Amino acid sequence: MGLWIGVGVHGLVSYGHAYIKYRGFSPPKDARGVPVGRTITVHFYSTSLRQRRLYEVYLPPGYARLAARGARFPVVYLLHGSPGGPSLFSDAANMGVDEDRLLADHSIRPFLAVMPNGRDKSFISDTEWADTPHGRYEGFVLDVVRDVDARFPTIPRRRWRAIAGLSEGAYGSMNVALRNLRTFGIAESWSGYFRQLRTGPFRHASPAVVAANSPAGYVGSMGPELKRWPLHAFIYMGRRDPTEPGVYAFAVRLRAAGAFVKFSFVRGGHDWSLWRRMMPTSLEYTSRTFGAGA
């Protein structure tokens, strides 16, 4: 009896681990004959967080050969949600497999996908990817950009640098991009929101800091900056997603301020099924938009 109980507990734990890792999907697997990229982990010191941190980097198929020939690569930075971590883009959202397939089909160009680990020490890990009394997580993202440009053969210019994310990471990607237009020329919000309150990591922040991190509030005044530093934005939201009822209004205001905005309401809610289904569309938008603008 004890043996069978042990087997049952082991099976339950294994199932739970697999669900956390893959969110109910089968492990990612490339189709036969498709050249496969690889993901590596990089450890570095973040001056903003004053500690050793890590990020994951997806290297496209043939990366070493292309780099040896002097090729340089655009980069997309992917910000995870809460709770979550960088590996979920590959494990649950199928990012690596989709990129491999799209490259094999010549639907996209080779580029690096960098996934910073923005977790704190809690399970929820609510950082909002912002500089708050909780920690300098916007600064951490910029630390990652600098480290990637120093380690890899990137094209270190804003129009070849994109930032995207889902849920909390979607908010973070848009907020970080708008606050750092000299760094990012492309921003993507997948099921995001655009305003902050004095809760979570902003609980002890000043009203000025909250306002400075609420894109819905400040985007209307960004016309001069967006004229000088054009931004290309892809925003989508599931039709059954209650997260941000003002998402369309934000997209309209962002476009009115001077950004080039692609907006879509799509079938689905606020879940991995949506983000996984939309991953090829997002990758194609990123690849197509690299190099556009100033």
On whether the CB atoms of residues 45 and 52 are closer than 8 A, the answer is yes
pTM value? Answer: 0.93
pLDDT of residue 249: 96
Residues 15 and 65 in one domain: no
pLDDT of residue 11: 45
Residues 127 and 268 in one domain: yes
Residue 294 resides in a domain:
no
pLDDT of residue 125: 87
How confident is the chain (294 residues) per 10-residue block, as mean pLDDT? Answer: 50 50 89 96 98 98 97 98 94 97 98 97 91 97 98 98 98 98 98 96 96 98 97 97 92 98 97 97 98 78
Q: What CATH number corresponds to the domain at position 97?
A: 3.40.50.1820
pLDDT of residue 13: 37
d(CA 154, CA 176): 20
pLDDT of residue 144: 98
pLDDT of residue 294: 64
Residues 17 and 125 in one domain: no
Residues 122 and 230 in one domain: yes
Q: Identify the domain containing residue 20 by its residue range.
A: 1-27
pLDDT of residue 2: 54
Residues 12 and 74 in one domain: no
The number of distinct structural domains making up the chain is 2
Residues 141 and 172 in one domain: yes
pLDDT of residue 244: 83
